[in-house]
Structure 1
Amino acid sequence: MASARASPDPGTRTRLAFSFGPRFFLILLVGLVWLGPGWIEPRFLFAMVLWDALALGVWAWDLLRLPRPAQLELRRIWNAPAALGSPSRIEIELINAARVSIFAEATDDVPRALRTEPATVEIRAGAGSSGRAAYSVMPVERGDARFGRVFLRYQTLLRLAERWTSADLTQTVRVYPNLGESKRQTVYLIRSRQVELEKRLKRQRGLGREFESLREYRQGDDWRDICWTATARRRHLVTKVYQVERSQVVWLVIDAGRLLRARVRGLSKLDYAVNAALSLAHVALYSGDRVGLLSYGRKLQQRLGPGRGTPHLRALVEHLALVRGEPSEADHGRAAETLLATQKRRSLIIWLTDLAETPATPDVIESALQMTTRHLVLFGLISQPDLVQLANRSPQTENEMYRHVAAQEMVQRRDILLRRLRQQGALAVEFEPGRLSTALVNHYLEIKERSLL
């Protein structure tokens, strides 16, 4: 993550850029002790005036000792990329080129998508040296966030006078999906299923589509897998060994319409869908497949053709970071037409969406069914935990009974729609937000193992 660096600009304020420090008022308060004797002897009042004049002179001397803004430099330093729902640490560095040590208070203009409270830190920078202080942010939205100026108030160690200034550290920062969670899930899933996958591959003679090797015939092998040309050359039976096909195409399709703006446990359904897509992309690329991305609302948002390798994964992360929810209904038909026109060869389309609560068939189902004759479609739906709990809870009052019946009808309607999808040749899963990534990765691995493509 790049840092921002700038010197304070003394011309950014229209009013006086200096003031009295906290200890100056303390000195004035001490001078009030002359006020009591002054009621008896007026000479003590002159002593108080002299004390105040001396304090003002010391304040002016301290003000002149303060570094000019041109002698200071501010830096905003990121220790790691900003990720959704993951705390990040930001450091503010103050570089002091003057010959006097200073104590400063810096306030950073942080976007509300990263922090709801002002970020104010205290920094001490020695003469000809620098100092740092850190604060934390917790991103709640993906995409680009814009930082503004850093406002600075600084004093000498006497703290009699202070100056104000600001530095233009305007910076646009991209908030990515939760990469750490995706990597942890990916490593766990691959390790936990690697042994099982190897065992199944040994049993899947003839079930795969990609030739792997030849070996001697073993009792129980399918006669259709015998390689007769190799058998003739070697003069004993030789069997073809197949493996799960690699280099297949997987499309991640993300609905960014209004239905996925609903929030569950602090994140929107769209955030869960993006995190699940990232986890799935890790596994698919690890398996040797090519992964493409299409996100859409009323119009197409992000589009990335199928590819493989680490550079392609980085490009996927960049595109996923820019997927933004829209307040309007998504145009599912346009997304389906785009995929049909782009992807001619049979592929796996993983469609992350939700179903509208309507008596009619949702448009997303009608659009997806257009593709089932050419592609294998896997629907990933995010359930509403509150709705499921309400449907399973026993009502205690009349109002609870009405809500209970309505919730049951909505759950049953979704079940009917999912059954229709499966009857038309599509795959469909519905899970709670926290289980969506794991469920989709498991279904993807099962599709690969069963050679459904």
Structure 2
Amino acid sequence: MAEKELIVYRLFFTPRLIRMLIGIACFFVLTYFIPVLFELGLILLGTLILLVLIDIVMLFRLKDGIKANRRMADVFSNGDENKIHLDVQSDYPFSVKADLIDEVPVQFQARNFLIPVTLEANEKKQLVYSLRPVSRGEYHFGNITVLVRSPLSLAERKYNLPAEKMVMVWPAFHSLRQYELVAHNATTSDIGNRKIRKVGHSMEFEEIKDYVPGDDLRTINWKATARKGGALMVNNYTDERSQQVYCLIDKSRVMKQPFEGMTLLDYAINASLVLSRVALVKYDKAGLICFAETMGQFVPADRKGMQMSLLAETLYRQQTNFLEADYEKLVTLVKSRITHRSLLILFTNFESMSSLQRQLPYIRSLARQHQLLVVFFENTELQQQAEQPVENLEQLYIKVITEKFILEKKRMVKELQKYGIQSILTPPRQLTTQTINKYLEWKARQII
């Protein structure tokens, strides 16, 4: 009895069968006016019932006619496309059509997630799709549901295949290797790599090597050249190492604003993780300070083997608060815990000149003791609104107000420059690239 109930639960009738039944019903209506067609209608109805029974037998003759499983990484990268592989196999001796419904985590709100596939007799296929998470945390995948139809396509069998799994979504680590490749002698741009012209050279001597075309003639070592018998030898210098690089992340309400599904805090966290990796590749020490109305986590700058794991774990736990950040406490923490001159990269956001003016004394205090870079965000939605054509008076008012906000952001950059404070005003999607460009540029020019 339980098996019969289970079969009924797994059996569905297709729209094709419904359309045929409607057609036969209309035919029987026609027989009311033409009685001689009544027997033909019974034959059509009987034939359809027989075909449905045959279809059901074809679908249910095998206990496990369809097998499917999901393959994916145990950890997803936030803000990146993460691939999921579905392996589906048919054991039916005939061709079937199937609809795969993968129960993706609720965070994606994919309510109609369906993948159609046709499988030949005893065929195995691999399907690939990708998901882009926009928040950190735990993501729970459910089962895989497969709806199978035979060539008759009158009935449909449902397979509910266990595939529950939980994955963690961590700050964007897919970008780490990409930016490692450009961390040595170049900076990254939207179209490729471009070299930074160095002003002089650092005082960290590395080796004496043979001259090759392109080496700076000012680095020729004449004594070594004389000992070599006339072959030119040059001094090779490397960037200064073991400098401290701290990412200061504002977790207050200004960082909760979303762009393209991700909050500004998540953009800052992703950029901080990649920048820390680049700094470690450049033999600098990477550290972290997270703050809001109270001081959050402080990770001292270091380049020990577990530093990246410590930074990633700390960044994973960060959440925005709904109060205003206390910059006075930040200055006190920096003065007491960071005793050597360091590069401080402050990720925050200001929407008005007055909000910047409130924090400016504390920002200037940080800049007096350390090399400070303030990173805040363009409102890309306002930029799009400002580019819209004006067709009526209301749209004109909106355009004027929008341009006022955009201009105010640019004034903030000028205000910081007035006090010798470097800043980056960037769209959220370009945050990582812009920040790493600035770090590598300063590194090459020996500003830090």
CA deviations on 1:386-408 (whole Å, 9 max, x unpaired) are 779999xxx99995898489649
Deviations 1:61-94 (A, max 9, x none): 4323324775543322348975555545434333
Q: What letter is aligned with 1:63?
A: I
Aligned-residue offset at 1:161: 1.7
Residue 416 (structure 2) aligned to one of 407, 415, 418? 418
Pair 357,70 (structure 1): closer, same or farther in 2 beyond 3 Å? same
Contact 2:69 2:144 in 1 (8 A): no
> Taking structure 1 as reference, are residues 189 and 23 closer, same or farther at Cα in structure 2, changes over 3 Å only?
same
Alignment map for 1:219-234 (pairs within 5 Å): none
Which residue number in structure 2 is paired with residue 290 of structure 1?
285
Distance 1:182 1:406 in 2: 37
Percent of matched pairs sharing the same residue: 22
Is the CA contact (8 Å cut-off) linking 2:198 and 2:444 kept in structure 1? no
Decide whether aligned partners of structure 1 residues 328 and 170 sit closer, same or farther in structure 2, where only a CA change above 3 A counts. Answer: farther
**Which residue of 2 is the match for residue 64 of structure 1?**
57
Cα distance in 1 for residues equivalent to 2:359 and 2:249: 12
Q: 1:93 aligned to 87, 98, 108, which one?
A: 87
Please tell me the residue identity of whatever aligns with 2:48.
A
Give distance in 2, aligned partners of 1:401 and 1:155. 55
Matches within 5 A, 1:375-390: 375-384=370-379
Secondary structure in 2 matching 1:284: helix
Residue in 2 that maps onto 1:24: 17
Q: Note if contact 1:174-1:321 (Cα within 8 Å) is conserved in structure 2.
A: no
Q: How does 1:13-412 map to 2 (within 5 A)?
A: 16-25=9-18, 28=21, 31=24, 36=30, 41=35, 45-46=38-39, 48-49=41-42, 51-67=44-60, 72-78=66-72, 83=77, 86-97=80-91, 102-111=96-105, 113-114=107-108, 118-126=112-120, 128-175=122-169, 187-188=181-182, 190-192=184-186, 200=199, 203-204=200-201, 208=203, 210=204, 212=206, 243-263=238-258, 268-297=263-292, 304-308=299-303, 312-313=307-308, 316=311, 320=315, 323-333=318-328, 335-336=330-331, 339=334, 342-355=337-350, 357=352, 359=354, 364-368=359-363, 371=366, 375-384=370-379, 403=401, 407=405, 410-411=408-409
SS where residue 377 of structure 1 aligns? strand
Query: 1:300-345: CA deviations, max 9, x gaps?
Result: 6766554448865466556556655444434445555555555444
Are 2:341 and 2:371, in contact at CA under 8 Å, matched by a contact in 1? yes
Q: Give the whole-Å Cα distance in 2 for the aligned partners of 1:56 and 1:419.
A: 82
Cα RMSD (Å) of the superposition? 5.0
| Change in 2 beyond 3 A, CA 1:274/1:132 | same
Q: TM-score, normalised by structure 1?
A: 0.67
- List gaps (5 residues or longer) in structure 2: 188-192, 210-216, 220-234
Deviations 1:33-85 (A, max 9, x none): 5765675556x535533543443244234323324775543322348975555
Q: 2:140 is aligned with what amino acid?
A: R
Q: Per-residue displacement from partner, 1:230-268 (whole Å, max 9, x unpaired)? A: xxxxxxxxxx99754212221112223222333557765
Residues 392-451 of structure 1: per-residue CA shift (max 9 Å, x gap): xxx9999589848964984586257515753xxxx4313232664454334423543455
Instruction: Give the Å deviation of 1:121.
Output: 0.8
Q: How far 1:97 sits from its partner (Å)?
A: 4.9
Letter in 2 for 1:119: F
* Cα distance in 2 for residues equivalent to 1:106 and 1:405: 48
Does the Cα contact within 8 Å between 2:185 and 2:195 map onto a contact in 1? Answer: no
TM-score (norm 2): 0.68
Which one-letter code corresponds to 1:19 in the other structure?
Answer: F
Separation of aligned partners in 1, 2:174 and 2:167: 18
Query: In the alignment, residue 414 of structure 1 is paired with which amino acid?
Result: M
Quote the Cα distance in structure 2 between the aligned partners of 1:334 and 1:70. Answer: 64
Alignment check: 8 A CA contact 1:66 1:100 kept: no
Report the equivalent of 2:426.
Answer: 432
2:222 corresponds to which residue?
none
Q: Is the Cα–Cα contact under 8 Å of residues 346 and 375 in structure 1 kept in the other structure?
A: yes
Contact preservation (8 Å) 1:121, 1:134: no
How far, CA to CA, are the matches of 1:75 and 1:124 in structure 2?
17
Kept in 2: contact 1:124–1:132 (CA 8 A): no
Shift in CA distance, 451/168, structure 1 to aligned 2, threshold 3 Å: same
Q: Is this contact kept in 2: 1:254–1:273, CA < 8 A?
A: yes
Alpha carbons 1:355, 1:362 under 8 Å: kept: no
Displacement after TM superposition at 1:283 (Å): 2.9
Query: Which sections of structure 1, spanning at least 5 residues, go unmatched?
Result: 1-9, 222-239
Question: 1:233 is matched with which residue?
Answer: none
- The total of aligned residue pairs comes to 411
